[in-house]
């Protein structure tokens, strides 16, 4: 069986050629997955509807993004210009995670080629995140009765503070984040479970820590998992402060996806961050998520 993967050409946006965010990675990743024969044909998402977005964001914030009336302070916090293609991308990428989250129920596992905008909270975006796609999709599944107890496992190098904020009072969503202590955001939010790592941590320690906490999580009765597979934990990342190798990331993705798939718990994988100094390497590292999932089917 082929792995269902969601992609859209509108994941690309005009943010300026000298922008620090590697926006080309979404289309390059899609090309790479086809070239590697991991995907034959992508599932195409629709832009997320306002009704669905409202499950995780205030109406005021959604309207201000759509009408380009967002205040300068919030635009600066997000770090993208508020232009048409950025608005479109934010809506389509969120729709993409919602679609992938439903596909995972039918196939056991499914992935987006974007997503993991985990710094956006109910009131607004931050840190290259406009809408919190995983939060929107998680709330969508709960509201539709498609999941009852959701785990968000966030292994991006940065803390998943948006999800921690959005689901603080929600007993049906458990937020778990393993991240670098000294990385953005300076002020962390409280997830249900946070693991803070010291700078320069290497593969062996990282994998040991991951396995320890996965074992703990396996004692709980989750019926759905979102996996934010940020690759900014890599040693050559511009923004991360850890020292994880290619093999370390590959092993991480295999351990996480296999752990839940083998228990019959649907898993929706999303990209998360990645700002590697080597662009081709960045695309390859992101593809480990899709390759690990494809192996399971």
Q: Which residues bind Zn ion (CB under 5 A)?
A: 156, 158, 230, 232, 273
Q: Tokens 């975006």, residue? A: 125
The answer to whether 130 and 118 are in contact (CB under 8 A) is no
Least distance to Zn ion, CB of residue 1, Å: 31
Q: Find the residue with minimal CB distance to Zn ion.
A: 273
Least distance to Zn ion, CB of residue 129, Å: 10
Whether residue 43 is preceded by a cis peptide bond, meaning omega within 30 degrees of 0, is no
* Of residues 42 and 184, the one with the C-beta less far from Zn ion: 184
How far from chain centre, in Å, is Cα 165? Answer: 16
The answer to whether 39 and 33 are in contact (CB under 8 A) is yes
The answer to whether 242 and 156 are in contact (CB under 8 A) is no
* Of residues 39 and 157, the one with the C-beta less far from Zn ion: 157
Least distance to Zn ion, CB of residue 272, Å: 6
Least distance to Zn ion, CB of residue 177, Å: 11
* Of residues 156 and 284, the one with the C-beta less far from Zn ion: 156
Closest to 91 in 3D by CA, of 48, 27, 139, 44: 48
Q: In sequence order, which residues have a C-beta less than 8 Å from that of residue 182 and are 6 or more positions away?
A: 199, 241
3-state percent breakdown (helix, strand, coil) of the chain, nearest 5: 40, 15, 45
* Of residues 47 and 273, the one with the C-beta less far from Zn ion: 273
* Of residues 128 and 222, the one with the C-beta less far from Zn ion: 128
* Of residues 269 and 273, the one with the C-beta less far from Zn ion: 273
The answer to whether 27 and 11 are in contact (CB under 8 A) is yes
Least distance to Zn ion, CB of residue 286, Å: 12
The answer to whether 19 and 85 are in contact (CB under 8 A) is no
């Amino acid at each position: 069986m082929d792995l269902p993967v969601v992609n859209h050409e509108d994941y690309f946006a005009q943010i300026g050629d000298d922008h620090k965010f590697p926006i080309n990675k979404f289309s390059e990743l899609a090309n790479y997955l086809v070239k590697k024969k991991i995907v034959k044909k992508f599932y195409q998402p629709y832009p997320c509807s306002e009704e669905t977005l409202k499950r995780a964001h205030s109406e005021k914030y959604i309207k201000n993004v759509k009408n380009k009336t967002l205040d300068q302070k919030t635009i600066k916090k997000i770090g993208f210009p508020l232009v048409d293609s950025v608005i479109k991308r934010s809506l389509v990428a969120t729709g993409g995670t919602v679609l992938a989250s439903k596909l995972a129920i039918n196939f056991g596992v499914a992935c987006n080629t974007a997503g993991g905008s985990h710094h956006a909270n109910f009131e607004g975006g931050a840190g290259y995140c406009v809408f919190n796609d995983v939060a929107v999709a998680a709330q969508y599944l709960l509201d539709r009765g498609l999941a009852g107890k959701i785990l968000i496992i966030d292994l991006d190098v940065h803390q998943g503070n948006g999800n921690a904020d959005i689901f603080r009072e929600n007993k049906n969503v458990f937020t778990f984040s393993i991240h670098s202590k000294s990385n953005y955001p300076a002020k962390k939010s409280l997830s249900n479970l946070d693991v803070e790592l010291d700078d320069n941590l290497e593969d062996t320690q990282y994998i040991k820590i991951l396995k320890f906490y996965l074992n703990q999580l396996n004692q709980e009765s989750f019926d759905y998992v979102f996996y934010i597979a940020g690759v900014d934990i890599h040693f050559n990342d511009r923004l991360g402060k850890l020292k994880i190798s290619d093999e370390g990331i590959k092993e991480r993705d295999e351990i996480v996806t296999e752990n839940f798939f083998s228990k019959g718990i649907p898993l929706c994988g999303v990209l998360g961050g990645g700002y590697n100094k080597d662009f081709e390497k960045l695309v390859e590292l992101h593809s480990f998520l899709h390759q690990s999932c494809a192996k399971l089917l």
